[in-house]
C-alpha cells in the first residue's frame, strides 16, 4: 500500500481562490479608478488648453496703436534772423539755429510747425515786418530738424500777395513737406491732407481770423483759409470720413496775452463738439496754457491755446519763450470697433537765444545756463507752473542731447 500525499484541505484551497480573486478585483478597480481620474485630468487639461487659445485670439484681435503728435510755435522770420543765416556766398542756412533742440524735435512721430511767414524766396526780395517774405531755406531747415507738417493760415499769409504764396507752396512741394491753410488752387484746397503713422490716420486743417486787412483776391478764396464756422464744419465732416484723428490749427487770440480769451475758449468748444481731437493755437506770440475739452458726444479733446514763438527776433522775455507740446494718440481696434484716446500731454519749454541780433539758436529752457539767461531755472519753473494752469499733470519733456 502506498502512503497518500498529505491533503491541505479543500476548504483551504477554496479560501485561497476567493482571496486571490478578491485581490485581483481590487487591483483592477483601483486601476480603473486611476484611469478615470487621469482621464478627468486629461480632459480638464484639454478643456483649459482649448480656452486659452481663444483668450489669446481675442487679445490678438484687439490691435492697439500709439502715435505721439507734437507741435512747435511760430516760426517768425524777421530780417535779423535771415541776415544771421546768410553765408558769404549769399546762400541761407538756418540749420544751426535748431542744432541744440534737433534731437528733441525728432522724438514725436509727427511734428507740426506754424510757419508764420511765407517762404517766397529771395528772387522776389526778402522782407520783414510788417510784410514778410522769407528764404526757401527756412523750409529746408525745418524739414532737417524733424518737422513733418506745416500750417500756413495766419495774418501774414497775404503780406506780399498771391505770387509769394504760389512760390512758397512750390518749394514746400519740392521738398515734399505737406502743408495746409494756404493753397495753390481750388483743387489743392479741396484735397484734405492726411498723414498715416502706426496704423492711425491724421487729417490736418488750418484757419486764420484774418490777413491784416489785406483782402483775399476775388474768386480765389482757396488761397488762405479764413475762420468761417460753416466752412470749418464742412471740412471737419469730410476729414472725419477719411481719418481717425482730426487736427486743426487755429490762428486766433490776442497778441501778447498769456491767457486765452473767451472767444478762443468758445471756439475750442465748438471745434470739440464738431469732433476735432487736437487743436493747435497760434498768434499770441506768448505761451498760453493747454486744456482738456469734452465735446458734446463725450469725446475728449485737447487744445494748445498758444505755443508762443519758436524762432523770431522779438525781444520781450515771454516772446522769447516758446516750446514743443506733445500728446499721445492711442487707437484701440477690435474687429470694426475703433476707440481713440488722448493721453500723456507733455511740454518742452524753449528759449529763443540771440545776442546783438546774431547767433540765433533755440535752447532748452530747463537746461539753459546763467550766461545765456539769468535765473533760467526759476524761469523754467515759472513757465511750467503757468502751462499747468488747466492740466495739472502736464508732463515735462526731457531734453534729448
| Res 15 pLDDT > 60 | no
H helix and E strand count, the chain: 10, 17
Instruction: Summarize the confidence of residues 247-276 as an average pLDDT.
Output: 99
Number of domains in the chain: 1
Does residue 109 form part of some domain? Answer: yes
Does residue 217 form part of some domain? Answer: yes
Query: Under a CB-based contact definition with an 8 Å cutoff, are residues 205 and 246 in contact?
Result: yes
| Res 18 pLDDT > 90 | no
User: Structural domain of residue 156, as residue ranges?
Assistant: 65-396
Place of cell 504760389: 166
Residue 59 has a pLDDT of 56
Q: What is the pLDDT of residues 143-195, one digit of tens each?
A: 999 999 999 999 999 999 999 999 999 999 999 999 999 999 999 999 999 99
Q: Which stretch of DSSP H or E encloses residue 10?
A: helix 10-61
Query: Under a CB-based contact definition with an 8 Å cutoff, are residues 324 and 351 in contact?
Result: no
| Res 28 pLDDT > 50 | no
Instruction: Summarize the confidence of residues 13-39 as an average pLDDT.
Output: 42
Residue 335 has a pLDDT of 86
Please name the residues in contact with 31: beta carbons below 8 A apart, sequence gap of 6 or more.
none
Instruction: Summarize the confidence of residues 202-230 as an average pLDDT.
Output: 98
Q: What is the pLDDT of residues 36-65, one digit of tens each?
A: 444 433 433 333 333 333 332 335 689 999
Place of cell 468761417: 228
pLDDT, mean over the chain = 89
| Res 113 pLDDT > 50 | yes
pTM value is 0.85
Q: 285 pLDDT band (50/70/90 cuts)? A: very high
pLDDT above 90 coverage of the chain, percent: 84
For the residues of 194-242, what is the DSSP string, one character each? EEEETTEEEEEEEEES--TTPPPPTT-GGGB-B--HHHHHHHHHHHHHH
Residue 249 has a pLDDT of 99
Residue 61 has a pLDDT of 81
Does residue 60 form part of some domain? Answer: no
Of residues 17 and 208, the one with the higher pLDDT is 208
| Res 67 pLDDT > 80 | yes
Instruction: Summarize the confidence of residues 123-147 as an average pLDDT.
Output: 98
Instruction: Summarize the confidence of residues 370-382 as an average pLDDT.
Output: 96
CATH classification of the domain holding 142: 3.60.21.10
| Res 7 pLDDT > 60 | no
Does residue 147 form part of some domain? Answer: yes
102 phi, psi to nearest 5 deg? -55, -50
Does residue 150 form part of some domain? Answer: yes
Place of cell 519749454: 349
Residue 8 has a pLDDT of 38
Which residues lie across from 304 on neighbouring strands? 280
| Res 24 pLDDT > 70 | no
* Residue 248 DSSP label: E
Longest dimension (CA), the chain: 151
| Res 138 pLDDT > 70 | yes
Does residue 128 form part of some domain? Answer: yes
Instruction: Summarize the confidence of residues 284-292 as an average pLDDT.
Output: 99
Does residue 266 form part of some domain? Answer: yes
Amino acid at each position: 500500500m502506498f502512503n497518500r500525499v498529505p491533503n491541505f484541505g479543500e476548504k483551504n484551497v477554496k479560501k485561497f481562490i476567493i482571496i486571490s480573486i478578491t485581490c485581483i478585483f481590487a487591483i483592477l478597480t483601483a486601476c480603473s479608478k486611476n484611469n478615470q481620474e487621469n482621464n478627468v485630468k486629461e480632459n480638464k487639461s484639454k478643456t483649459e488648453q482649448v480656452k486659452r487659445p481663444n483668450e489669446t485670439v481675442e487679445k490678438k484681435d484687439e490691435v492697439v496703436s500709439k502715435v505721439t503728435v507734437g507741435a512747435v510755435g511760430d516760426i517768425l522770420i524777421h530780417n535779423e534772423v535771415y541776415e544771421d543765416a546768410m553765408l558769404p556766398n549769399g546762400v541761407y542756412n538756418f540749420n544751426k539755429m535748431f542744432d541744440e533742440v534737433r534731437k528733441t524735435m525728432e522724438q514725436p512721430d509727427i511734428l507740426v510747425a506754424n510757419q508764420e511767414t511765407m517762404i517766397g524766396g529771395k528772387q522776389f526780395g526778402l522782407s520783414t515786418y510788417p510784410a514778410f517774405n522769407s528764404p526757401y531755406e527756412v523750409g529746408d531747415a525745418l524739414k532737417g530738424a524733424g518737422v513733418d507738417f506745416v500750417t500756413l493760415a495766419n495774418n501774414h499769409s497775404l503780406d506780399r500777395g498771391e505770387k509769394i504764396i504760389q512760390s512758397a507752396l512750390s518749394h514746400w512741394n519740392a521738398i515734399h513737406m505737406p502743408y495746409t491753410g494756404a493753397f495753390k488752387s481750388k483743387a489743392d484746397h479741396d484735397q484734405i491732407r492726411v498723414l498715416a503713422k502706426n496704423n492711425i490716420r491724421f487729417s490736418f486743417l488750418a484757419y486764420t481770423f484774418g490777413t491784416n486787412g489785406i483782402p483775399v483776391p476775388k474768386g480765389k478764396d482757396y488761397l488762405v483759409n479764413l475762420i468761417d464756422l460753416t466752412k470749418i464744419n464742412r471740412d471737419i465732416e469730410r476729414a472725419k470720413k477719411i481719418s481717425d484723428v482730426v487736427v486743426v490749427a487755429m490762428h486766433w487770440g490776442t497778441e501778447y496775452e498769456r491767457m486765452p480769451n473767451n472767444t478762443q475758449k468758445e471756439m475750442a468748444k465748438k471745434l470739440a463738439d464738431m469732433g476735432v481731437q487736437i487743436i493747435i493755437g497760434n498768434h499770441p506770440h506768448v505761451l498760453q496754457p493747454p486744456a482738456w475739452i469734452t465735446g458734446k458726444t463725450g469725446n475728449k479733446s485737447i487744445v494748445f491755446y498758444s505755443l508762443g514763438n519758436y524762432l523770431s527776433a522779438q525781444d520781450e522775455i515771454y516772446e522769447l519763450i516758446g516750446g514743443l507740446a506733445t500728446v499721445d494718440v492711442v487707437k484701440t481696434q477690435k474687429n470694426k470697433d475703433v476707440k481713440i484716446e488722448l493721453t500723456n500731454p507733455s511740454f518742452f519749454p524753449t528759449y529763443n537765444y540771440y545776442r546783438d541780433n546774431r547767433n540765433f539758436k533755440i535752447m532748452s529752457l530747463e537746461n539753459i545756463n546763467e550766461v545765456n539767461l539769468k535765473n533760467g531755472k526759476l524761469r523754467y519753473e515759472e513757465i511750467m507752473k503757468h502751462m499747468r494752469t488747466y492740466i495739472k499733470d502736464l508732463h515735462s519733456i526731457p531734453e534729448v542731447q
